[in-house]
Each structure stands twice: as C-alpha cells, then as structure tokens.
Amino acid sequence: MKKLLSTTAFLGALALTAGSAEAANLQVNVGGFVDFQAGYTSDDQVAHDVLSSSNENQNKVNFSTDSEIHFTVEGTADNGLEYGAVIELEADVNNTDQAQNGGTNADKAYLFGQGGWGRVELGDNTDAAQALQVNSGTFASGTGGVNGDFYRYAFATSGAGGSGFLIRPELPLANSGNGSTFNEDATKITYYSPRIAGFQAGVSYIPNSGDTGTAAFSGSDFQNVIAGGVNFTTQYNQFAIKLAATGEHGDQKSDTTQDQHLSAWNAGGNVSFAGFTVGGSYGHVGEIAATNASGVGGAATVNTVNGAHYWDAGAGYAFGPWSASATYLESKVNPAGSDTRDNLFHNLVVGTDYKLAPGLVPYAEVSVYNFNGSGGDTTVTENKGTAVIVGTQLTF
Amino acid sequence: MRQIFALLALLAIASCSSNTATDSKNYPKSQSDMRKVKAGSLVSDEGKGFSIMGSKKDDAGKSSGIGVNSFLWRASLDTISFMPIVQADAFGGIILTDWYEDPAAQKTDLRERFKVNITILDDRLRADGIRVALFKQKYDAKAGWRDQVISKDSEREIENTILTRARELRVKQTGK
C-alpha cells in the first residue's frame, strides 16, 4: 500500500495536467496545373488532307492546353482517422479535356478516409487497377511516353487509328478516357490496403462503367465491374524494384452479347539502378472491346473485338532535375468476325523533361507510330507518321 | 508490479489515442497524377498548393523559434512542471529532469524517486514525435539509492499524458 502511495502521488501530479479534448484539424488547399503543348504532326492522314471537305488543308501545327484547379480538404480526427475530399475542376477554355473529360466541369471528385487500416475512396476517381499498375509509363519522361499525350497529335479522329487499335498500355477502363461505355472516372468505391512488407492491394467496385455521378441507366456500358490489383515495391541493395499485376472484370448488359464479359489483365515491372530505370508490361484484353482515347477533343471509342494484347518496354535515365526516356509499345487487336489477322499498332516515344523550378517542367517528346490494319477490318484507317510535342507544365 | 498497474490505471484517465502514420502521398495515383506530384509545386513544399482555410502552421505547432513541435514542447514542460528540470534544449528537443522524490511519500520508510528524460523527435504534432524514458530508484538503508526496473507501459502512459496536453494546447491556440 505504501508502495502504491508514492507512485500514486507521482502519477497524480502528472494526471492533473491532463484532460481530454475533441479536436479536428481541417485544412483546405488549392492547387492545380496548367499545361501548354505545341504539336507538330507529320503522318499519312494529315498529309492527305483527310478532312471531310477536299478543299481544306489540315494544319500540321496544333497547340493544346490542359488545366485544372484542385481543391483538397484534409482533416485528422482525434481517434487517428484522416479524412477529406478532393475536387479536381477542369479549367479548360473549351470545356473538354483532351478526351479526359466528357464536357463536364470536374475531372475527379471523391471523399476519402484513411488510417492504419488502409484507405477508402468514395466517388469519381482513378480505379485501383489503373493506380496500382506498373509499366514503362511509370517512369517515362515528357508526357508519359507510350502512355502519354502523343494521341492528341497522331491524327486519330474519324477512325484513323481511332477504333480497332489499342494505343496505350492500359486496361479498357483507363484506356477509354471519359467514354460512355467505359469512363476512367466512373463513380466507384475503392479500398487500398496499407503497404505491408512492400505489398499493397487495392480493389474498386464500379456498378456501371459509364456512370459518373448519376445513374444513367445506360444499356451499353458494363455492370458490376471489379478492378484491382497488387503492387509490390522493394529495395534490394542499390536496386529499386516495382512489380504489379492488375485486372478488370465486368458483365455485359446487352442480352445479345452477354457472353462478352469485360475481362482484362496486365502485369508489369520496373527496376531502377543509379538513375537508370528499365521496365515494361504485358496486357491482355478479352473478347469484349478494344478501347481507345482518340484525338484532340474526341471521345473514346469502343469496338467489339475478338481479343487484344499488348506489350511495352522502355528505359529511362534521371540525373538531378533532368530525365529522359525511350519507350515502345506494340499491340495486336483481333477484329470482330472471322478475320484471323490482327490490327497492329506500334509506337516508339523518346522524351525528355527538365525540372526548371519546383512546379515548372518544360518537356519535349517525339513519337513515331504506325497504325496497320489487318486488311480485312474495314472499320479502321491506317496511318503512320511522327508527332513532335514541345510543352511546359506548371503545377502549383 | 502493482505500482505499474496503479500508474497505468491513473494515467488511463488522461490517455489519448495515437495518430497513425499514414499519409495521402503513400497511396497510389494514376500515372498522370504522379507526374504532377513529381513536378512539385510552385507555391508549396508539400506539392499540395496553397492553403485557403485552416492554418497548417498553427495546427502543426511548427515554429521557427524552436527546432521541435511547440505544442509537444510546451506540453512536456507543463506535464513535468512539478519536477526540477536540469536541462531543457528546445533545439535538440531534450528535457532532462533531476531526481524527484514526492514530499508526501518521504514520511514513509519506503522512499523512492523518479527521473524523466523526454525527447521530442518531430516538428509535427504526432504520437510518435515524443519519447519518454522513466527512471526509478528505491532507497535502501544499507546500499543507498538503487535502480529499479520500470515498465515500458509507464513510459507510454506519460507520453500519452503529454500528447493529450499538447492537443489541449493546440485546441486552445487554434480553436480546433
């Protein structure tokens, strides 16, 4: 008892100073970016003046801007729950964001909550498969190499490389931009696990792959889509390794094509050593659809096909604020019908960027691409050529 | 053992939950978003733009005057204010007390005294930003003061008391 007394007195003195308080710490941040690009296109389609009127000439020089304002609300509750919301508003003059936006005014809008148990996102944001995937675009310089902005300048509207080709190393949801069949920002619920021993898993549930924000009761999109994957990062001596496997699965709504589920997966990896990074990925899209973000201001298109697959590989080097990369993508899409030949697409992108100041990054990229139809697929238009992009991005 | 138990029981009243060490930046983003993150931000070190509501500086207790979180610093001094302080370094974040023997307990034949070392490790107000080392000695008529084993839990409880106090101070200063 005596023993107890002295400690009690000591601790009592401590306890006197303490009380309890309920407090939250909420903060609202405004950020965003403005991106300006000048593109020069030299390809078969532009050279042949493919515009509808034969007495018009297509300009090889195009400018484009992409700008967004981001609001981020973040708070921490006393019990450790971190919560918040993100609204990414489009700030483009033409109200369409290079196929990243369907004419609406927000790119992303979602709530999140996170803690030691992981993170939950509710709303319109990137799905878990897209966020966890690893490919050559993960480290590419410029606009993102084969997963970058070349498609804005490769003359891809009016079917030239539009549908029937798979032009980016992405699964259908992510590849389609903001289409009505697949929308990369379709309303969803996503859960990410914390990273444990290098592993992080995530899964998204998307009730309707074309719905953003409202119930459209569309019959042409996919339902009950699950997109997710596992991502692994580790450091082995001087080598940094990133690996990921992601997939998507969803059901058709149409009675006539019920068997054509959305089924796609990819797997990829990166290895970095002393500033050098090499990596790539392989992806397979099942029988449903090849999807495609098409040219400037165009909407994504989806084609029913027998199947598609792609692989990409690249190498990059980063030295201080400067980085450069070369990435290559090759894809084959087997068109619908009995044609056994494939629509081939390949693209080599060499890019570089330089971080002039925090938030200010000028970049340049050259893309050499070839859209090569199967010969039997009359829905595609062949095209080959080069696009050069020079731009500056400012983030704040 | 009973001492430890009593210590825990008492401090449980004042205990608080700890922050988890998560961060939005650690969660996966699309490649285009990551590109923006890598580019950094023209107006903020953290790449999150500028604050329009909620002053992060006040909330976090960051201060150019001292090298550690000011709430944790003041809360630590407050909490052990009844003990004599030998050394307090606001830049290194170290508070060392002298041996303290509770006057109320001195009357008994069982004498014991305590010493606390507090290390503040972070300029943010977070649960892992503070470390407490507690020492106890018992008086032995033959051998003088002898060191005693003390439970890690007791140290945790003191840390929690300080964290609660820090939170109170923050509420008082920032109103949230």
Provide DSSP, A349-380: EEEEEE--BTTEEEEEEEEEEEEE--SS-TT-
Question: How many other CB atoms are found less than 10 A from the CB of residue A109?
Answer: 19
Question: How many other CB atoms are found less than 10 A from the CB of residue B69?
Answer: 26
Please answer whether residues A308 and A114 qualify as being in contact, where contact means their C-beta atoms are separated by less than 8 angstroms: no
**A157, amino acid identity:** T
Instruction: From residue A219, give the alpha-carbon distance in Å to each of A163, A204, A215, A240, A341.
Output: 20, 21, 11, 45, 30
Higher confidence at residue B110 or residue A269? Answer: A269
Going by C-alpha positions, the residue among A316, A312, A302 that lies closest to residue A365 is A316
B55, pLDDT greater than 70: no
Contact B44 A18 (CB under 8 A): no
Q: Which pLDDT score, from 0 to 100, does residue B40 have?
A: 84
Higher confidence at residue A199 or residue B67? Answer: A199
Chain B residues with CB under 8 Å of A168 CB are: none
Does residue B79 belong to the interface with chain A, where contact is any CB pair within 8 Å?
A: yes
Q: Which pLDDT score, from 0 to 100, does residue B56 have?
A: 47
Mean pLDDT of A105-130: 92
- A391 pLDDT band, cuts 50/70/90, is very high
| Partner residue opposite B27 with nearest CB, options A5, A78, A119 | A119
Q: Which pLDDT score, from 0 to 100, does residue A321 have?
A: 92
Which residue out of A1, A2, A5, A6 would a mutagenesis test of the B interface target, given it has the greatest number of B Cβ atoms within 10 Å? A6
Q: What single-letter DSSP state applies at residue A342?
A: -
Q: DSSP strand E in chain A: where?
A: 25-43, 61-76, 82-90, 106-115, 118-124, 187-192, 199-208, 222-236, 239-252, 262-273, 276-285, 289-292, 301-319, 322-335, 343-354, 360-372, 383-395
Q: What angle do CA A174, A298, A32 make, to 5 degrees?
A: 65
Does residue B114 belong to the interface with chain A, where contact is any CB pair within 8 Å?
A: yes
Chain A residues with CB under 8 Å of B18 CB are: 80
Torsion of CA A165, A253, A132, A116, to 10 degrees: 170
Beta bridge partners of B100: B114
- Judged by CB atoms within 8 Å, which residues 281-340 of A form the interface with B? none
Q: Please give, rounded to a whole number of angstroms, the shortest distance from the CA of B167 to a CA of chain A.
A: 7
A9, pLDDT greater than 60: no
Mean pLDDT of A251-278: 85
Q: Please give, rounded to a whole number of angstroms, the shortest distance from the CA of A1 to a CA of chain B.
A: 9
Q: Is the pTM of this model over 0.80?
A: no
Does residue A361 belong to the interface with chain B, where contact is any CB pair within 8 Å?
A: yes
Does residue A20 belong to the interface with chain B, where contact is any CB pair within 8 Å?
A: yes
Count CB pairs under 8 A between chains A and B: 205
Mean pLDDT of B65-89: 87
> Whats the size of chain A, residue-wise?
396
B105, pLDDT greater than 60: yes
Alpha-carbon distance of A297 to A13, in angstroms, equals 69
Mean pLDDT of B5-19: 35
**Largest distance between two CA atoms of chain A:** 104
- Judged by CB atoms within 8 Å, which residues 71-130 of A form the interface with B? 72, 74, 76, 78-80, 82, 84, 112, 114-116, 119, 126, 128, 130
Chain A residues with CB under 8 Å of B54 CB are: 25-28
Contact A5 B108 (CB under 8 A): yes
Using a pLDDT cut of 90, give the percent of chain B over it. Answer: 24
- A394 pLDDT band, cuts 50/70/90, is very high
Q: Which residues contact A351 (CB under 8 A, 6 or more apart)?
A: A140, A141, A142, A143, A145, A148, A324, A325, A326, A327, A363, A364, A365, A366
Please write the tens of the pLDDT for every residue from A289-347: 544 444 333 334 455 667 888 999 999 999 999 999 999 999 988 877 777 788 888 99
Phi/psi at A215 (5° precision) = -80, 110
Contact A9 B24 (CB under 8 A): no
Chain B residues with CB under 8 Å of A394 CB are: 42
Sign of the CA dihedral with B48 first, then B49, B53, and B58 last: positive
| Partner residue opposite A19 with nearest CB, options B35, B111, B164 | B164
Higher confidence at residue A138 or residue B55? Answer: A138
Please answer whether residues A207 and A184 qualify as being in contact, where contact means their C-beta atoms are separated by less than 8 angstroms: no
Please write the tens of the pLDDT for every residue from A178-196: 667 778 889 999 999 999 9
3-state percent breakdown (helix, strand, coil) of chain B, nearest 5? 40, 20, 40
Does residue B107 belong to the interface with chain A, where contact is any CB pair within 8 Å?
A: no
Higher confidence at residue A56 or residue B74? Answer: B74
Please answer whether residues A285 and A172 qualify as being in contact, where contact means their C-beta atoms are separated by less than 8 angstroms: yes
- B52 pLDDT band, cuts 50/70/90, is confident
Chain B residues with CB under 8 Å of A12 CB are: 10
Mean pLDDT of A96-115: 72
Which residue out of B13, B35, B43, B107 would a mutagenesis test of the A interface target, given it has the greatest number of A Cβ atoms within 10 Å? B35
Burial of B67 (0-12, 13-18, 19+ CB in 10 A): middle
Q: Which pLDDT score, from 0 to 100, does residue A185 have?
A: 87
Higher confidence at residue B164 or residue A12? Answer: B164
ipTM: 0.79
Mean pLDDT of B113-121: 92
Going by C-alpha positions, the residue among A160, A175, A176 that lies closest to residue A387 is A160
Q: Which residues contact A251 (CB under 8 A, 6 or more apart)?
A: A222, A223, A224, A225, A258, A261, A262
How many CA within 13 A on the CB side of residue A217? 0
Alpha-carbon distance of A344 to A374, in angstroms, equals 7
| Partner residue opposite A6 with nearest CB, options B41, B52, B105 | B105
Please answer whether residues A37 and A149 qualify as being in contact, where contact means their C-beta atoms are separated by less than 8 angstroms: yes
Chain A residues with CB under 8 Å of B49 CB are: 29-32, 70, 72, 396
